[in-house]
Amino acid sequence: MAVTVSSVAEVCARAREASRALARIDTATKNAALFAVAGALRARVGEILAANELDLIAGREADIGEALLDRLALDERRIEAIAAAVEAIAGLSDPVGETIDGYRLPNGLDVRKVRVPLGVIAVVYEARPNVTIDASALCLKSGNAIVLKGSSSAEHSNVVLSSIAAKAAVEAGLPDGCIGLVAGGGREQLAELARQDGAIDLLIPRGGEGLKAALEAVATVPVIYAASGNCHIYVDDSADVDEVVEIVLNAKTHRPGVCNAVETVLVHHEATGALEALLHALSEAGVTVSGDEYVVDFAQRLAQVHAKHDGPRGAALAQTIRAAVEPAVEADWDTEYLAMKLAMKLVESVEQAIEHIARHGSGHSEAILTADMDSARAFQLEVDAACVYVNASTRFTDGGEFGMGAEIGNSTQKLHARGPIGLRELCTFKYLIEGDGHVRP
């Protein structure tokens, strides 16, 4: 069996050994292994769904909520999408061996800066079994061994998926231990993994702020945090109302439980048409709005107008709006709801929106909806985030959407990797220097 479920140290040691062989394996062999993984996933759909159903049953019993259940759930369509993503990664250019820079020194030495694998990458993630395959495929294509540590809520799914992937990869020519699974255990096991100096070259936690805090307290290996997404959309007074509604609804309701869903909408105080349309659309879609005092007051007046002038339908609409809008508290501006809820605030200008994002944003994805290109340019230049959008939904922040095939997560940091973590972000580099009997004078 290519996946081990033994001690953390044993899994990491096997991965370290495999990484040395992986660094030398050619692109064709890696691609063949990925196609084998995709084929194995399709061939064993029934086994995957049976394991996933065990996790879903446990999740419902534990009342983990609809958003987390949606993250956890697999079906034939999602498994096919996972397999297709593996094939897409196989079709991407191999970053290993790319010459980043090259030059000849005045003394005749030839210097090349070449991309190479990091070595062993550990990925810690919560209830997203697709990450098991996405992360494995990206690591294998970039010449890295991977150690997986999923959450207990997806344990049955992760065990089956990693076993299928590892078996297929090894049978296609990759070294045993290239995919390792750390199964079971709790925070103690997580802490042990985060202290595997000499075995783990990079740890990527993909989860919420709780996971990030737990690792910050104990990690001694390098970490890139793919953490929370407190994403904002700023609605400028020049924005097209229909476009505003379509984009905000997509960013909030398409998949509310993911990190690129919008959590706060900032509305220019003169964009009353957009604000009215948003309150109608969000309330009818079942989204709760935690609004500042101006939003709450506007919603109350809007409901009164409907109640007075639009008959029975107006009364029902008024009740829907009143039920959907509640007063915000300070904590709302920093909350990643991951649910059918968002915060909403009126601002005086694009500058005030940028200031709010600077105080409360997580550095993930921010968007401006505007017809004013000066405002758009100011937003692009001044907002400090991995991904900044103009007139588009934040839901596009994704390795697959960016042409990377898939992603391990979205880094909100600034060094080495920022935004979707794909193949090149899983590599480092080395300098290769060639001479002809050179000695330093």
Specify the CATH number for the domain of residue 416: 3.40.605.10
Residue 2 within any structural domain of the chain: no
What is the side-by-side strand order in the sheet with 145-149? 179-181, 145-149, 120-125, 202-206
Residues 371, 240: Cα–Cα separation, whole Å: 7
Tell me the CA distances in angstroms from 51 to 3, 81, 86, one per residue in order.
Answer: 17, 18, 21
Sheet containing 341-347: order of strands:
325-327, 288-291, 341-347, 262-268, 231-235, 365-369, 387-390
CATH code where residue 303 lies: 3.40.309.10
Domain annotation covers residue 402: no
Q: Could you report the per-residue pLDDT of 55-69, keeping only the tens digit for each?
A: 999 999 999 888 789
The pLDDT value recorded for residue 79 is: 97
Report whether pLDDT(344) > 80.
yes
pLDDT at 414: 87
Q: What is the pTM of this model?
A: 0.86
- pLDDT confidence of residue 2: 45
Averaged pLDDT, 340-363: 97
Residue 47 binned pLDDT confidence (cut-offs 50, 70, 90): very high
Q: How many CB atoms lie within 10 A of CB 76?
A: 12
CA angle, residues 357, 363, 364, in degrees to nearest 5 = 110
Same domain, 164 and 303: no
pLDDT band at residue 308 using 50, 70 and 90 as cut-offs:
confident
The pLDDT value recorded for residue 185 is 65
Domain that holds residue 334: 231-396
189 shares its domain with 338: no
> For the chain, how are helix, strand and coil distributed in percent, rounded to 5?
45, 20, 35
Q: Residue 229: which of 430, 394, 56, 20 has the closest Cα?
A: 394
Residues paired with 233 in a beta bridge: 265, 367
Element holding 91 (H helix, E strand) = none
> Is pLDDT larger for residue 194 or for residue 67?
194
The pLDDT of residue 4: 41
DSSP state of 113: E
Reply yes or no on whether the pLDDT at 6 is more than 80. Answer: no
Tokens matching residue 233: 């959309």
| Domain match, 369 and 417 both | no
User: Which residues make beta-bridge pairs with 429?
Assistant: 115
Arithmetic mean of pLDDT, 103-120 = 97
Kindly report which listed range (38-52, 247-261, 339-353, 404-418) carries the lowest average pLDDT score. 404-418
127 lies in the same domain as 213: yes
Tell me how far apart the terminal alpha carbons of the chain are, to the nearest angstrom.
55
CA 140 to chain centre: 19
pLDDT of the residue at 121: 98
Residue 391 lies in a domain: yes
Say how many domains are in the chain: 2
- Is the pLDDT at 41 greater than 80? The verdict is yes
277 in the same domain as 176: no
Residue 319 lies in a domain: yes
The answer to whether residues 134 and 177 belong to one domain is yes
| pLDDT given for residue 188 in this prediction | 84
Question: How far from the centroid of its chain's Cα atoms is residue 266's Cα?
Answer: 23
**Chain-centroid distance, C-alpha 244:** 24
385 in a structural domain? yes
Tell me if 289 is assigned to some domain.
yes
Q: In what order do the strands lie in the sheet with 427-434?
A: 99-104, 110-117, 427-434
More confident residue, 333 or 183: 333
Query: Are 221 and 104 part of one and the same domain?
Result: yes
At residue 212, the 3 state secondary structure works out as helix
Top mean-pLDDT range of 6-20, 37-51, 211-225? 37-51
Per the CB < 8 A criterion, the answer to whether 88 and 400 are in contact is yes
**In this structure, are 320 and 427 located in the same domain?**
no
pLDDT digits (tens, 9 = 90+) for 149-193: 998 899 999 999 999 999 999 999 999 999 999 987 677 889 999
Average of per-residue pLDDT across 316-340: 94
Whether 1 shows a pLDDT value over 70: the answer reads: no
Q: Residues 212, 239: one domain?
A: no
Cα 187 from Cα 441, distance rounded (Å): 55
Quote the tokens at residue 375: 């405002």
Mean pLDDT score across all residues of the chain: 93
Over 60: is that where the pLDDT of 5 sits? no
Contact 185, 161 (CB under 8 A): no
Q: Is residue 75 part of a domain?
A: yes
Residue 401 falls inside a structural domain: no
Together in a domain, 213 and 310: no
Percent of the chain with pLDDT over 90: 82
Whole-angstrom distance, CA of residue 118 vs CA of residue 392: 34
**Does one domain contain both 79 and 222?**
yes
The answer on pLDDT for 404 being more than 90 is no
Whether residue 99 sits in one domain with residue 150: yes
Q: What is the pLDDT of residues 257-285, one digit of tens each?
A: 889 999 999 999 999 999 999 999 999 99
> Which range is least confidently modeled, 3-17, 90-104, 112-126, 355-369?
3-17
Overall average pLDDT of the 288-317 stretch: 90
